[in-house]
Structure 1
Amino acid sequence: MSRTDCRSPGGDGNGAKHRTAAGRQYGVAGGYCAPPPLEKPSSTRFPAPCFSSLFMDHSLTSPTPRHRAVLVAGIALCIALGLASRRWPGVLFPEALGKYPGDALWALMVMFGWACLWPRMAPGRLALLALATSFAVEFSQRYQAPWINAIRSTTPGHLVLGSRFNAMDLVAYAVGVAVGLGLDGLYQAWLRRRTGSQAARPD
């Protein structure tokens, strides 16, 4: 039955006795009208997300860009504190914490490093990326091939790649990234106050 083929349930064909809601909906004098055929759903394909869109999506970016000079200074401070914590244990941090403050500082340094590359990256994404990097390096220590162990035996290789897998290091990385999120929140609040005060200052 087409849209214009309208008949009453009683079969009289004029629709005078059985006016239905369907007939009124489609503007017919009376009777039942079959609804129009459903349109074929569109086969439009959405583009697959690319790697760069994870970091360039402005709807999920930081409201104010971070200053690279501040981030570089933070990286240098993390390196200095991390080396000092290993050289003089128990001086900067409680001796009971062992080497884990250095691991937390390493993850914080990684977070600052990614922020240098993408100053407008959202804090949550930045934290996930820093955690993923730290965890990947830690789990890579399960691979003990001679060639990579030779790299780890050097001072730069040991500082970057570590030596042996330790599950507690993952906890230290999470603590370091959490500290980074707190520092980033304080820094963003300071930037917003500074921007607001400059905008309110009369010319």
Structure 2
Amino acid sequence: MKPISVLIILLLFSCKNTLDKEGLFSAEEYARNDLEYSDVTLFLPKKYITIDKAEFSKRLFGVKDIPSNIIEMWISNIESPNDGITIFSDTTNPVNFILIKKLPSYIPVNYGTSKVILKLMKQYLEDASKNHGLIYHLGESAFKRNKGIEMYKLNYSSFLSGVEGNHTRYFIEINKQTFDIQIVNNENEDFEDEFKNIEIH
């Protein structure tokens, strides 16, 4: 067999089937998700499926080890003003979920607004500490840019009613739209690569 033929065969077998423009997310492990209220596409592991508010509540209240006051706090996050919301739930663990909300008004995300967001989040956590006994620890707080995406990331851990939680919050600006993304994940996955590589479709 000619060397050039061998090279072509090797290239064909080495090329994986990917979903995104950059070739980061394999079709075997990831699913493409187009937000119906936006022109944004994101790629998440296949075990994360879209569910509605009723199913979200049903799944959480079906977990015996989570007190109802914590579940009610999580569910209340859905009710804040938004221009569209998507709920992704981990099929292997209902306590792992992702809430994506498009904010009603466009808010630029930059170094300045990141400082304001951090201040507001600290106040929110401090209020929860005083009113509900929440113990929290702030982790990474950073403003990031990637291919037209402006992103502020805040990570924190919490302890309430005997339950530990790992949280990541993203505020993302893309194509004159602003998104508030809340992640709760027991495996400490923050999905940074997934959210800094969202696309416009």
Which of the five TM-score ranges fits, normalised by the shorter chain? under 0.3
Structure with greater helix percent = 1
Q: TM-score, normalised by structure 2?
A: 0.24
Q: TM-score, normalised by structure 1?
A: 0.24
Which protein, 1 or 2, shows the higher relative CO under an 8 Å CA cutoff with sep ≥ 6? Answer: 2
